[in-house]
């Protein structure tokens, strides 16, 4: 009997995050859909392609997603090979069984569905399973170091072009001195983070952390404290640098920086934990594998 990949997305999950992924028959898929806690998940009031749902993937790259809709109804989304989304609204899950059966038989009837009105471009990202791996991010580097690099480069180039070279060159020296803390922190974070890997999503209660060669799995339930270190002085020039310490109940401390994952995204990954912000004048990160965190 034919099986298609089927997976579940809860309201707390982020885009592209799924669980219970595996091949299922039509009957097994219907059972998974019927056993999904629709009323509990509907209570979260999250409606849309990112909402609680069950997704089925065909062998030809098409997707079927059943989710919650307004007014206690349900909605079925169908993504075809041409990146078009169609939908069907029903009062009950059973209203979609014939459409799901047709999907398993590659006999989906577009005429029975409505075109989904939207302005989305990357539509497939709402259906495809995403890998949530974090290492050194070019985006994070640009966010932190773009202004220092651009300003320093501009002053340097100008000092060689303009006639008043001594004055501009002195200004260049002053700019370099001003941004010296940035470069120290950046190089410290860069060398510390270069081999690190973090795999974490919002809804999954486990995450992995380690190096390119080896990562270990951890449970969010075993976290004792999460602390974010940075200079919190108002308008501090290097206030964009953050180092994170995750202290486990075993005493082990996992350390990484915002060259890998931004501050807001870090908070988003731990919905059931409070991340303590701790002021540190110059938040260098040390290579010790274990240290006692100040309370």
- The string of pLDDT tens digits covering residues 55-109 is 999 999 999 999 999 888 999 999 999 999 999 999 999 999 999 999 999 999 8
Q: Which percentage of the chain shows pLDDT scores above 90? A: 77
pLDDT at res. 157: 78
Which residues lie below 8 Å from residue 28, measured CB to CB, with a gap of 6+?
3, 6
Give pLDDT, residue 165.
64
> Is residue 5 over pLDDT 80?
yes
Burial class from Cβ neighbours inside 10 Å (0-12, 13-18, 19+) for residue 65 reads: buried
Q: What percent of the chain has pLDDT over 70?
A: 93
Q: Domain residues of the chain, as ranges?
A: 4-126, 133-279
Residue 45 is predicted with a pLDDT of 60
| pLDDT for residue 151 is more than 90 | no
pLDDT above 80: residue 219: yes
Write down the pLDDT at residue 288.
Answer: 62
Cβ pair 230, 241 in contact under 8 A:
yes
Q: What is the pLDDT of residue 44?
A: 61
The Cα 35–Cα 199 span in angstroms is 29
Say how many CA atoms lie within 13 Å of 170 toward its Cβ.
3
Mean pLDDT confidence for 204-215: 96
Q: Is 289's pLDDT higher than 50? A: no
Q: What pLDDT, in 10s, does the model give residues 106-149?
A: 999 898 899 987 777 789 999 999 999 999 999 999 999 999 99
What does the pLDDT read at residue 291?
A: 43
Q: How many helices (H) and strands (E) does the chain have?
A: 7, 15
**Mean pLDDT of all residues in the chain?**
91
Cα separation of 22 and 84, whole Å? 25
Euclidean distance between CA atoms 32 and 4, whole angstroms: 13
User: CA–CA separation, 135 vs 258, rounded Å?
Assistant: 10
pLDDT of residue 117: 78
């Amino acid at each position: 009997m034919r099986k298609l990949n089927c997976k579940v997305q809860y309201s707390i999950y982020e885009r592209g995050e799924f669980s219970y992924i595996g091949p299922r028959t039509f009957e097994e898929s219907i059972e998974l859909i019927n056993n999904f806690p629709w009323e509990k998940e509907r209570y979260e009031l999250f409606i849309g392609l990112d909402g609680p749902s069950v997704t089925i993937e065909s062998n030809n790259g098409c997707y079927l997603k059943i989710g919650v809709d307004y007014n206690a109804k349900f909605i079925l989304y169908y993504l075809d090979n041409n990146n078009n989304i169609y939908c069907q609204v029903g009062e009950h899950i059973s209203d979609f069984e014939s459409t799901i059966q047709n999907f398993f038989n590659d006999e989906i009837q577009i005429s029975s569905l409505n075109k989904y009105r939207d302005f989305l471009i990357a539509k497939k990202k709402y259906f495809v399973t995403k890998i949530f791996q974090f290492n050194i991010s070019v985006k994070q580097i640009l966010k932190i170091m773009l202004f220092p690099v651009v300003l320093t480069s501009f002053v340097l180039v100008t000092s060689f072009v303009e006639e008043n070279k001594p004055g501009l060159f002195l200004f260049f020296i002053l700019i370099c001195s001003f941004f010296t803390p940035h470069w120290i922190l950046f190089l410290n974070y860069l060398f510390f983070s270069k081999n690190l890997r973090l795999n974490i999503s919002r809804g999954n209660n486990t995450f992995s952390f380690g190096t390119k060669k080896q990562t270990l799995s951890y449970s969010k339930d075993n976290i004792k404290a999460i602390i974010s270190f940075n200079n919190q002085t108002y308008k501090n020039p290097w206030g964009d640098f953050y180092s994170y310490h995750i202290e486990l109940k075993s005493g082990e401390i996992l350390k990484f920086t915002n060259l890998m994952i931004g501050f807001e995204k870090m908070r988003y990954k731990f919905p059931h934990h409070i991340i303590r912000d701790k002021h540190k004048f110059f938040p260098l990160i040390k290579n010790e594998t274990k240290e006692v965190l100040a309370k």
